[in-house]
Amino acid sequence: MKVIITKDYEELSEKAFEIMAGVLKKKPDAVLGLATGSTPVGLYKKMIEDCKNGGISYKAVKTANLDEYVGLTPDNDQSYRYFMRHNLFDHIDIDLENTNIENGVASDLQKECERYNALLRTLPRDVQVLGIGANGHIAFNEPGTPFDSETHVVDLTENTIKMNARFFENEKDVPRRALTMGPKNIMEAKKILILAVGANKADAVKGMLNGPVDPALPASILQRHPDCTLIADEAAAAYVK
């Protein structure tokens, strides 16, 4: 895995944008695998700024997001569909029809997972953006998720519910389940860009880079990807030699 350590979040977002822009300049109709959460917001701001200034166009771009909470409608401001519109899609020239995310309010969640897996087979990702959980999760693949899993329904761990409570008024409002791409879908991307910010990610980053490849730390599977770059700020990279 290639490792880039940056002095701060601004530099991390700039480096991430350079890699994203490199993919899009080579392939204007690229398929982007996208993540939510705090970490990629700086990257998305750079993409917006650049697009507004006449840079990269997203007219031919398609996207597939990693995950969505179960039970939140797209207009719920805590849903990941809403997050993506608010933090990226509504501010660039992308066609919303070309953006994809699991439907967390599907009446049959199992069927929805099958639909999304079938869709992903038609949308090979040129680059996949990831954040990392303090427990080493990628997307909502919590510790113990088999590496060969595809999109599935997950029960979120207490740790993840607590971490994500900061986005909700009350911890009890955090959905307990989500739909998520599995490690297998993630590993199919041609290029992976994993971003890590803050001291609370330092242990997970260390385990991902140096620990055994083990489902106990889902991000460790990325050691086996042929083109994966970690960009971490100094705090998240505290234990990286």
Quote the CA–CA distance of 153 and 112 in Å, as a whole number. Answer: 10
- Which residue reads 């700020």 in tokens? 233
**Is 112 in the active site?**
no
* 38 scored as a contact of ligand F6R (CB under 6 A): yes
* 39 scored as a contact of ligand F6R (CB under 6 A): yes
Q: For the window 51-70, what string marks contact with ligand F6R as x by the rule CB under 6 A?
A: ---------------xx---
Compute the least distance from the CB of residue 26 to ligand F6R, in Å: 25
* 120 scored as a contact of ligand F6R (CB under 6 A): no
* 233 scored as a contact of ligand F6R (CB under 6 A): no
* 137 scored as a contact of ligand F6R (CB under 6 A): yes
Residue ranges of alpha helices (H) inside the chain are: 9-26, 41-52, 80-87, 109-122, 158-164, 183-187, 202-210
**Among candidates 118, 83, 121, 81, which has minimal Cα distance to 102?**
81
Compute the least distance from the CB of residue 54 to ligand F6R, in Å: 29
**Is 67 in the active site?**
yes
Compute the least distance from the CB of residue 83 to ligand F6R, in Å: 8
* 136 scored as a contact of ligand F6R (CB under 6 A): no
